[in-house]
Amino acid sequence: MDQDAEHLRRLTQYLTGHGYRVTAIQGADELPVRLQLESPDLILLEQRLGDVTGTEVLGRIRAVSSVPVIILTAQSDPVDRIINLEMGADDQVHKSVPEREIMARMRAVLRRMQGSAYRSQPAWVLSEGRRDVVRPDGSACGLTTAEFGVLRALASAEGQAVTRAELCERVLGRPLHPGDRAVDTVICKLRQKLAPGVIVTVRPAGYAFAGFPSPAAG
C-alpha cells in the first residue's frame, strides 16, 4: 500500500516478476475491505499516506488482523520506527533500498511466521463484510447494527477513549440528551457478546477498545 505511484509500480513489477501475487492499493479506505476479501500473507505499508499515517493504518489493521506488516518509509525517524514496532509492525524498511532487499525482508518475515499462531490459530475478527464479529471458533457474535457501529467506532479510535456524546452522534445519529442511556445499553450488550475486557470504561471520557484477546487466551 503506497501513494507514491512510481515506487508502487516498480515494486509491484519486481515482486510480480519473482512469483508474488501483488494487489496494489493507493488509498487507506480500501484496505479494510481488501483484508476481508483477499486475506493477504503480508502487507507492505507506506508510512506517509496523505491525510493519515502508516502508523494510524497499522492500528486499524491490528484491530482486526495479525497479518505481517512491513512499513516502507522515506524518513529516518527512529521515533516512528519504535512506535511502529511497538504497535505490531514486523519490520520497517527505507524506501531507497533496492527492491531486492525489500523482497529479502519480506521472505525473512514470512519465514518467521511459518508455523506461528498467525496461520495455525484462529482469532477474533471484526468483519466489515458481515458487519459482525467472528469468534475464533468461526461463530458470529450476532451484533445489531448499533452494536457493530459502536464497536467499529471504538476500534477505529486505536485505543483512545471515545465519549458517549461522540458515539451517540456518530452511531445513533442524534445528540446525547441528559439521562440518555442508549449508548450505555449498547455497550452492555456488546460486553455480553464479546470476550471480557474488549471494551473498557474510561472515566469520565467514555469507552475505549482494548483489543480482542490473543488466540491462546481464547
What's the CATH number of domain 5-120, 1.10.760.10, 3.40.50.2300, 3.40.50.720, 3.10.20.740? 3.40.50.2300
Domain ranges for the chain: 5-120, 125-217
User: Counting every residue, how long is the chain?
Assistant: 218
pLDDT at 186 over 70: yes
Mean pLDDT of 89-117: 84
pLDDT class of 166 with cuts at 50, 70, 90: very high
CB 63 within 8 A of CB 211: yes
pTM: 0.52
pLDDT at 122: 67
Confidence of residue 188 (pLDDT cuts 50, 70, 90): very high
Backbone φ and ψ for 110, nearest 5 degrees, come out as -65, -35
Lowest mean pLDDT among 2-16, 66-80, 81-95, 116-130: 116-130
Say whether pLDDT at 14 is over 70: yes
Task: Say which CATH class 125-217 falls into.
Answer: mainly alpha
pLDDT, average across residues 203-207: 86
Average pLDDT of the chain to the nearest whole number: 84
Is the pLDDT reported for residue 34 higher than 80? Answer: no
Q: What angle do CA 213, 204, 127 make, to 5 degrees?
A: 35
In 3D space, the residue among 83, 85, 43, 47 whose CA is nearest the CA of residue 61 turns out to be 43
* 3-state secondary structure at position 119: helix
Say if residues 42 and 109 touch (Cβ distance below 8 Å): yes
In the numeric block, which cell numbers belong to residue 40? 493477504
Q: What is the rounded CA–CA span in Å between residue 138 and residue 134?
A: 6
Task: Label residue 9 by pLDDT band (50, 70, 90).
Answer: confident
